[in-house]
Every structure is written in structure tokens, then in C-alpha cells.
Amino acid sequence: MKILIELPTWLGDAVMVTPAIENLIKHLGDVEITFLGSLMSIDILKNHPKVIKTYVIDKNFFHLHKILRDLEDFDVFISFRSSLRTTVIKFFISSKNKYQFNKKKYKKGHQVEKYNDFINDSLKINTIASRLVLHVEKKSINKKNRLLGISPGATYGSSKRWYPKKFAEVATSLSSQYDIIIFGGPGEKGIAKDIEQYLIKNGISNYKNLAAKITIKELVSKIANLDLFITGDSGPMHLAAALQIPTVAIFGPTMDIETSQWMNNKSSIVKKNLECQPCMKRVCPLKHHNCMKLVEASDVLKAVKSLS
């Protein structure tokens, strides 16, 4: 059976969709999967043993049209995106059965459960979402000390970001116990550099700033070797959950019941539970950003201690 799957755009969602994909495969049996998706989502999921072909799509209409023109016929088309573009794509796909995720229909529960409920409803099955699954090579490394990873960025917007100085305070406090790795994509080079400058000011030298310097594959490998991860509500946070890395996640404007780590037994959430939380806005509408500003380094260090 030939299946075409359009993946979510963002890294975190691409990881959170994996239990639904595994349940789909278990139900349909002998399948050949083709993935459509962003470069990030394709990079993280392309090594699945059932995947025979992948297509990276972007906002370029002519590039998308060429891909759609070249696609063969499929038995099933499933999209985990709730966008107008996908509605157009669905029209051009030659498939006996077509299903598109509708975020307005699936409003309650964790995002992993929403994706899995969509598959259940589409295929008329009844499955439970299990652990996140990454079919990637996880290389072990020789290390002198334990490793602490810091991921200060968040693609969603500035409201999800904790402050560089506070990340540096936490890293400084833990630097005698851990070597430090700062992660981030191209859009997080600035905040990662700010953390680095604070570490230098604090006399800390056992760190590496890898922001915008490594591939998705390398990011997975680096996170897989961490002993502790401190992050905001970010894509790498979900990678850490899939890899079962002890994690402290700092939440501000977003809903931890929807996007916290899925089935990671060593996970702690830090948040302030203000009346204005969660606002789900990219920029603080009240202009004070207290949901993040009031989170102190001591709060995060207390959460770290709770994981030991």
C-alpha cells in the first residue's frame, strides 16, 4: 500500500506526530511511505524504515507545482497540516482516500493525542499514542564530565523566550558539575551569543556555543548524549523527550498541557501560573512579559534538583 504523508512544518510537531504515524503503520500493515514536508521535518523523520521517498516543499509555488506534477498515485494521502495550502495540495493529489488534520476539530488534550485522534477518526480505529519515535543513529561519545544542554530559542516568538542572563546564571551554577553546550538555530545566534558573553563574564570556560553550527542530525546526536537539558517550549525539547533526556522546560505564554514533553519520566516544568497565562501570543500583549520575567534562576535550579 502506498501512502503519502504531509508532515507538520515545525521540528517539535514533526516529533510529536510520530506516535500517530506508528499507529497508522501498525493498522495498514505493509506500506511504502512518501513524505512531504519542510526541510526540518523531513530531516528528522526521513530515516524511518517504511519511507521510500521524501520531498521538501517550501513557499515557492512553482517548486511545489513541479513536485505535485511528479507525484504518482497513492492509496492514502494524510496531511497533519491544517492549512489552506494543504487543501490545495489535497486537490491535486491522486489518491483513493484523502484525510487532512483540522485543528479546529481537535482542541483538547496534548498535541500528540490530537494527531493520534485524527488518525483514529480517519481510519476508524482505536489506538493509544505511545512514546515518541525517532529512527536516527544515536552515537555515544567519550566525555570527561556530564553534559548540560541549553536551548534558549523558540521559533514561535519572543514571548516564549527566557532571558540570556538567567540562562547564564543557571549554567554558571551548574558549571562545576557539567560541561555546557548552547544550542540554537540561525534565528537564535543572537541570544546564544548573549549567553556566551555572560558565561565569559562569569569566568566560565567549559562551554561550547553550537548555535547555527550543526545540522538536525548532529543536533539529535548531541542531545542524545546529554545528562541534563534546560530549555523553553521548543523543538529541541521534544527531541529530548523522544530521547528520554532529563529535562527542565520553562513555560510562559503557551499551554504545557498541550505541548510539554510527552512521556518523559524525567521532565520538570517551570512556570508561574499567572492569571494572564497562557495567552498564546507571539509577543506579550500586556507589554510586561511577567510569565517569563518572574521566573528566576533559583526556580530552574530547584527543578533540576528535583530530577536527581
- What confidence tens digit (pLDDT) does each residue in 206-230 have? 999 999 999 999 999 999 999 999 9
Q: Are residues 151 and 298 in the same domain?
A: yes
Query: What are the cell numbers at 25?
Result: 503503520
Q: Are residues 285 and 172 in the same domain?
A: yes
Q: Are residues 108 and 203 in the same domain?
A: no
Q: What is the structure's pLDDT at 254?
A: 94
Residues 6+ apart with CB under 8 A from 302: none
Query: What are the cell numbers at 22?
Result: 506508528
Q: Are residues 90 and 160 in the same domain?
A: no
Q: Are residues 98 and 152 in the same domain?
A: no
Q: Is residue 212 part of a domain?
A: yes
Q: Which of 125, 77, 124 is nearest to 101 (CA)?
A: 77
Question: Is 230:180 a contact under the CB 8 Å cutoff?
Answer: no
Share the mean pLDDT of the chain: 95
Average confidence (pLDDT) over 33-47: 96
Q: Are residues 223 and 107 in the same domain?
A: no
- The long-range contacts involving 54-59, CB below 8 angstroms and separated by at least 24 positions, are none
Burial class (CB in 10 A: 0-12, 13-18, 19+), 306: exposed
Q: Is residue 62 part of a domain?
A: yes
Q: Are residues 83 and 151 in the same domain?
A: no
Domain edge (last residue) among 89, 123, 157: 123
Q: Is residue 128 part of a domain?
A: no
Q: Are residues 80 and 155 in the same domain?
A: no
pTM value? Answer: 0.95
Count of domains for the chain? 2
Average confidence (pLDDT) over 236-244: 97
- What confidence tens digit (pLDDT) does each residue in 258-276 have? 999 999 999 999 999 999 9
Q: Are residues 14 and 110 in the same domain?
A: yes
Average confidence (pLDDT) over 46-75: 92
Between CA 171 and CA 183 the distance in angstroms is 13
Query: Looking at 62-76, 119-133, 284-298, which range is the least confident one?
Result: 62-76
Q: Is residue 240 part of a domain?
A: yes
Q: What is the structure's pLDDT at 160?
A: 86
Q: Is residue 21 part of a domain?
A: yes
Percent of the chain with pLDDT over 70: 99
Between CA 13 and CA 16 the distance in angstroms is 5
Q: Is residue 135 part of a domain?
A: no
Q: Are residues 19 and 112 in the same domain?
A: yes
Q: Are residues 92 and 186 in the same domain?
A: no
Between CA 285 and CA 202 the distance in angstroms is 34
Q: Does the pLDDT value for residue 91 go beyond 70?
A: yes
Question: Is 162:293 a contact under the CB 8 Å cutoff?
Answer: no
Q: Looking at the chain, how many residues does it have? A: 308
At residue 157 the predicted structure's pLDDT band, cuts being 50, 70 and 90, is: low
**SS3 state of residue 248:** strand
Q: Does the pLDDT value for residue 156 go beyond 90?
A: no
CATH code of residue 113: 3.40.50.2000
Q: Is residue 24 part of a domain?
A: yes
At residue 158 the predicted structure's pLDDT band, cuts being 50, 70 and 90, is: confident
Average confidence (pLDDT) over 175-180: 98
- What confidence tens digit (pLDDT) does each residue in 49-60 have? 999 999 999 888
Q: What is the structure's pLDDT at 155?
A: 65
What range does the domain containing 293 cover?
146-307
